[in-house]
A and B are shown apart, each in its own frame.
Chain A
Amino acid sequence: MSEFEPKIIAFVCNWCTYAGADLTGTSRMKYAHNVRVIRTPCTGRIDYMLILKAFSAGADGVIVSGCHPGDCHYTSGNYHARRRWMVFRSLLDFLGIDVERVRFAWVSAAEGAKWAEVVNTTVADIRRLGPYTEYQNLIGRGVERSFQV
Chain B
Amino acid sequence: MSRIGVFVCHCGENIGATVDCAQVAQMSSSIPGVVHSVDYKYMCSDPGQTLIKEAVKEKKLTGVVVAACSPRMHEPTFRRACAEAGLNSFLCEMANIREHCSWVHEKGDQTTQKAADLVRVLVEKVKRNRPLRPIQVPVTKTALVLGGGIAGIQASLDIANAGQKVILVEKDPSIGGHMAQLSETFPTLDCSQCILTPRMVEVAQHPNITLLSYSELESLDGFIGNFKARIRKKARKVDEKLCTGCAVCTQKCPQKKIPSKFNAGLGMRTAIFVPFPQAVPNKPVIDIENCRYFKTGKCAVCQKLCPAKAVRFEQEDEILEIDVGAVVCATGFDVVNTDFFPEYGYGKYPDVINGLQYERLASASGPTLGEIRRPSDGKIPETVVFLACAGSRDRAKGIDYCSKICCMYTAKHAMLYRHKVHSGKAYVFYMDIRAGGKMYDEFVRRAIEEDGAIYVRGRVSRIYERDGKLIVKGADTLLGGEPIEIKADMVVLATAAVASPAAEELAQKLHISYDSYKFFSEAHPKLRPVETNTAGIFLAGACQAPKDIPESVAQASGAASKVCGLFSQDQLSREPLIAAVNRTAPPQYSSCTGCFLCESVCPYRAIERETITTRGGKPIRTIARVNPGLCQGCGTCVAVCRVKAIDLDGFSNSQLYAEVRALA
Q: Which residues on A are within 8 Å of B, measured CB to CB? A: 5, 7, 9, 18-19, 21-26, 28-31, 33, 36-42, 44-48, 50, 53-54, 56-59, 73-77, 80-81, 84, 116, 149
Given contacts A22-B72, A57-B661, A73-B634, 13 further A-B contacts (CB under 8 A): A22-B99, A25-B104, A30-B105, A30-B106, A38-B660, A41-B634, A42-B634, A44-B635, A45-B651, A50-B656, A57-B660, A75-B603, A77-B634
A77 to B105, CA, bound (A): 31
Tell yes or no: B340 within 8 A of A by CB.
no
**Contact among A23, A36, A41 for B633, CB-based, below 8 A:** A41
**Chain A positions within 8 Å of B72 at CB level:** 18-19, 22
Q: Which residues of B contact A23 (CB under 8 A)?
A: 99
- 20 residue pairs of the A-B complex, CB under 8 angstroms, read A18-B72, A19-B72, A22-B99, A24-B99, A25-B104, A28-B104, A33-B101, A33-B111, A33-B114, A37-B118, A41-B648, A41-B650, A42-B636, A44-B636, A50-B657, A57-B663, A73-B634, A74-B604, A76-B603, A84-B639
Q: Which of A45, A46, A53, A73 contacts B661 (CB 8 A)?
A: A53
B664 contacts chain A at the CB level, 8 A cutoff: yes
Residue from B72, B651, B660 whose CB has the most chain A CB atoms within 10 Å: B660
Closest 10 CB pairs of A and B: A25-B99, A45-B635, A44-B636, A74-B634, A25-B103, A57-B664, A75-B603, A22-B99, A42-B634, A47-B639
Q: Knowing A22-B72, A45-B634, A47-B653, say if A36 contacts B663 (CB, 8 Å).
A: yes
Instruction: State whether the Cβ of B139 lies closer than 8 Å to any Cβ in chain A.
Output: no
Which single residue of chain A is at the shortest CB-CB distance from B94? A39
Using Cβ atoms and an 8 Å threshold, which residues of chain A touch B663?
Answer: 7, 9, 36, 54, 57-59
Give the chain A neighbours of B105 by CB distance below 8 A. Answer: 30-31, 33
Whether B659 is near chain A, meaning CB under 8 Å from some CB there, is yes
Nearest CB in chain A to that of B638: its residue: A45
Min CB distance A28 to B, Å, is 6
Residues of A within 8 A of B99 (CB): 21-26
> Is B433 among interface residues, defined by CB-CB distance under 8 A?
no
The answer to whether B635 touches A26, judged by C-beta atoms less than 8 angstroms apart, is: no
Q: How far is the CB of B592 from chain A (nearest CB, A)?
A: 16
A36 touching B656 in the complex, CB below 8 Å, given contacts A41-B648, A45-B639:
no
- Most B CB contacts (10 A, CB to CB) among A29, A58, A76 go to A76
Within 8 A of A (CB), among B79-102: 96, 98-101
Cross-chain contact of A41 among B121, B651, B664 (Cβ < 8 A): B651
Cα separation A45 to B105 with both chains bound (whole Å): 29
Max chain B C-beta neighbours (<10 A), residue from A5, A21, A33: A33
A53's closest neighbor in chain B, by CB? B660
The total of chain B residues at the interface (CB under 8 A) is 44
Q: Are B640 and A29 in contact (CB under 8 A)?
A: no
Q: Which residues of chain B are within 8 angstroms of A73 by Cβ–Cβ distance? A: 634
Most buried by B among A37, A45, A73, A84: A45
Find residues 631-658 in chain B having any chain A CB closer than 8 Å to their own CB. Answer: 632-636, 638-640, 644, 648, 650-651, 653, 656-657
Contacts of B635 in A (CB 8 A): 40-42, 44-45, 77
Partner of B636, one of A28, A50, A77: A77
Please name all residues of chain A whose beta carbon is closer than 8 Å to the beta carbon of B561 when the two chains form the complex. none
Cα distance A43–B663 when bound, in Å?
20
Instruction: With both chains docked as a complex, state the minimum distance between the C-beta of B416 and any C-beta of chain A, in angstroms.
Output: 42
Docked-complex contact B657 and A149, CB < 8 angstroms? yes
Residue of A nearest to B511 (CB): A75
| A37 close to B100 (CB less than 8 A) | yes
Docked CA distance A48–B641 (Å): 12
- Nearest-neighbor residue (CB-CB) of A19 within chain B: B72
Q: Which residues on the B side are within 8 Å of A33 (C-beta)?
A: 101, 105, 110-111, 114
Whether a CB of chain A sits under 8 angstroms from the CB of B533 is: yes
In Å, the complex CA distance between A19 and B651 comes to 17
A26 to B118, Cβ gap below 8 A? no
Closest to B114 in A: A33
A21 to chain B: which residues have CB within 8 Å?
99-100
Contacts of A44 in B (CB 8 A): 601, 634-636, 639
Within 8 A of A (CB), among B521-554: 533
Residues of B within 8 A of A41 (CB): 577, 633-635, 648, 650-651
Kindly identify which residue among A38, A56, A75, A116 contacts B656, using a CB–CB cutoff of 8 Å: A38
Give Cα A9 to B660, complex, Å: 8
Tell me the minimal C-beta distance from A46 to chain B in angstroms.
6
B103 contact set on A, CB distance < 8 A = 25-26, 28
Is B117 an interface residue when CB atoms closer than 8 A count as contact? Answer: yes
Q: 1/0 per position for B41-68, CB-CB distance to A under 8 A? A: 0000000000000000000000000000
Contact string against A for B residues 111-122, beta-carbon threshold 8 Å, 1 for contact and 0 otherwise: 100100110010
Per the bound structure, the CA–CA distance linking A25 and B111 in Å amounts to: 14
Q: How far is the CB of A10 from chain B (nearest CB, A)?
A: 10
Closest to B641 in A: A47
Chain B residues within an 8 Å CB radius of A30: 104-106
A127 to B103: give the CA distance in the assembly, Å.
Answer: 23
Q: Which of A25, A40, A48, A77 contacts B98 (CB 8 A)?
A: A25
Query: Taking the nearest CB of chain B, how far is it from the CB of A36, in angstroms?
Result: 6
Chain B residues whose C-beta falls within 8 Å of the C-beta of A74 in the assembled complex: 603-604, 632, 634, 636
Cα distance A50–B659 in the bound complex, in angstroms: 10
Given A38-B659, A40-B656, also A29-B104 (CB < 8 A) = yes
B70 at the interface (CB under 8 A from A): yes
Min C-beta distance of B577 to chain A, whole Å? 7
Contacts of B603 in A (CB 8 A): 74-77
Shortest CB-to-CB span from A91 to chain B, Å, is 15
User: How far does the Cβ of B107 sit from chain A's closest Cβ, in whole Å?
Assistant: 11
Q: Which residue from chain A places its CB closest to the CB of B533 in the assembled complex?
A: A75
Chain A residues contacting B640 (CB-CB under 8 Å) are 80, 84
* Chain B residues, CB < 8 A from A77: 603, 634-636
Name the residue of chain B whose CB is nearest to the CB of A38. B659
Residues from chain A with Cβ under 8 Å of B636 in the complex: 42, 44-45, 74, 76-77, 80
Q: Are B648 and A22 in contact (CB under 8 A)?
A: no
Contact between A36 and B651, CB atoms less than 8 A apart: no
A5 CB to nearest B CB, Å: 8
**Which of B72, B639, B640 has the most chain A CB within a 10 Å cutoff?**
B639
B627 at the interface (CB under 8 A from A): no
A55 to chain B, nearest CB (A): 10
Residue from B96, B117, B513 whose CB has the most chain A CB atoms within 10 Å = B96
Whether the pair A36, B117 counts as a contact (CB closer than 8 A) is: yes
How far apart are B9's CB and chain A's nearest CB, in angstroms?
A: 14
Residues of A close to B639: CB separation below 8 A = 44-48, 80-81, 84
Which of B601, B640, B656 has most A Cβ within 10 Å? Answer: B656
Point out the residue from B70, B104, B601, B638 that lies within 8 Å of A116, measured CB to CB: B104
Cβ distance A108 to chain B, nearest Cβ, rounded Å: 13
- Say how far B431's CB is from chain A's closest CB, in angstroms: 29
Closest to A109 in B: B72
